[in-house]
Structure 1
């Protein structure tokens, strides 16, 4: 091949190749619907709702789930997280997805103090719309074991106080896979969480 002709053709072919690869990557990203990786399968559970109903993890299949581990006598991180979840609740209600396509779950570490009545009062005080919330309790030892399966370590400090990971907020997809783990309390970014929920709804 003529060297001059080759010098003209090679950059053009390279440009076509680069554009082709870029186009493929764009199509792949659009087709995936979400860039959130799978952290792990969400462990199964069977716990009791504040109204006395038995709730299994599988009951949430087909919905995107935002799940917190908490206790109602927590002085700071837990109520701040629940408050921020309630803010998300209102945004999702405006979108028409809360309760229908998105489920919120709160699991207490402290079943001794967090009786069904206490959980119901907490839900009312925090403004939790129970049409889209499961507020759950179980035996303390079993709940501690369940939390550990979700990557949350819990220590009972006595007198109604618990120490646990700040990263105790889980985003679970419709196939019951954990896709994101968030920081609770003041470090929780509602815009980020809402964006991730929307991403999973588009999958």
Structure 2
């Protein structure tokens, strides 16, 4: 089912102007599918334009740019962080990817790197091919050898819209500069923490996720 969508540039939902806070509030909450309690917010998960607390992530498979075969987030059997980016971005995306990179390093140092997977998903497959994403990983100091980081790359722009916009509710809008190779995107900032059963524990709708909050939520979810 197609979700309502939102744009990050305006900071509100495209259809209803949603602005509910999605911060953590502790354990409990009465939902057997998740560990973290329901966040303090104005809207229920079903009314939000993206998968949110207690909802299962969409049943979609996306090609892994640097590995064989597709990835289905709900079938990973590890906790995962999913975000949406393009490698030519110079504003929001490096911050989102750096937050996950720092978490990757923290997980390795703390001994639970094998219990979490990082899945930044590009919506610019035309430029974000395997060669470009390897270079981007080196630029961002991502440890591809750790075995817990996969760049997901829809096969085409249409497929990117199906996955990123239709399934995950995140709108991206291409700009058209004079140099057509230098186009950019207006897009949302969204990071999802998904548990090993494929349910969303937290949806962080921020351009600069707080590393300590992400790590604390992850450690609670995996029982560290």
Q: Using structure 1 for the length normalisation, give the TM-score.
A: 0.76
Query: By how many angstroms is 1:156 displaced?
Result: 1.9
Q: After superposition, give the CA deviation of every residue in 1:74-111 in whole Å (9 maximum; x if it has no partner).
A: 1111011111211111111011111x110000110101
The answer for the alignment partner of 1:143 in structure 2 is 160
- Of residues 142-151 and 125-134 in structure 1, the stretch that sits farther from structure 2 once superposed is 142-151
Native 8 Å contact 1:46 1:54 kept in 2: no
**What root-mean-square deviation, in Å, do the aligned CA atoms of Structure 1 and Structure 2 show?**
2.3
Native 8 Å contact 1:77 1:184 kept in 2: no
SS in structure 2 opposite 1:40?
coil
Q: What is the aligned residue count?
A: 172
| Counterpart selection for 2:191 from 169, 177, 185 | 169
Query: By how many angstroms is 1:46 displaced?
Result: 2.2
Larger radius of gyration between Structure 1 and Structure 2: 1
Structure 2 runs not aligned, ≥5 long: 1-26, 39-52
Indicate how the Cα distance of structure 1 residues 153 and 58 shifts in structure 2: closer, same or farther if over 3 A, else same: closer
More helix by share: 1
- The separation in 1 between residues aligned to 2:100 and 2:59, in whole angstroms, is 22
SS in structure 1 opposite 2:118?
strand
Query: By how many angstroms is 1:35 displaced?
Result: 2.8
- The separation in 2 between residues aligned to 1:164 and 1:178, in whole angstroms, is 21
- The separation in 2 between residues aligned to 1:170 and 1:181, in whole angstroms, is 5
Query: By how many angstroms is 1:155 displaced?
Result: 1.4
Native 8 Å contact 2:124 2:157 kept in 1: yes
Q: Using structure 2 for the length normalisation, give the TM-score.
A: 0.70
Indicate how the Cα distance of structure 1 residues 54 and 194 shifts in structure 2: closer, same or farther if over 3 A, else same: same
Query: By how many angstroms is 1:184 displaced?
Result: 4.1
More strand by share: 1
The answer for the alignment partner of 1:133 in structure 2 is 149
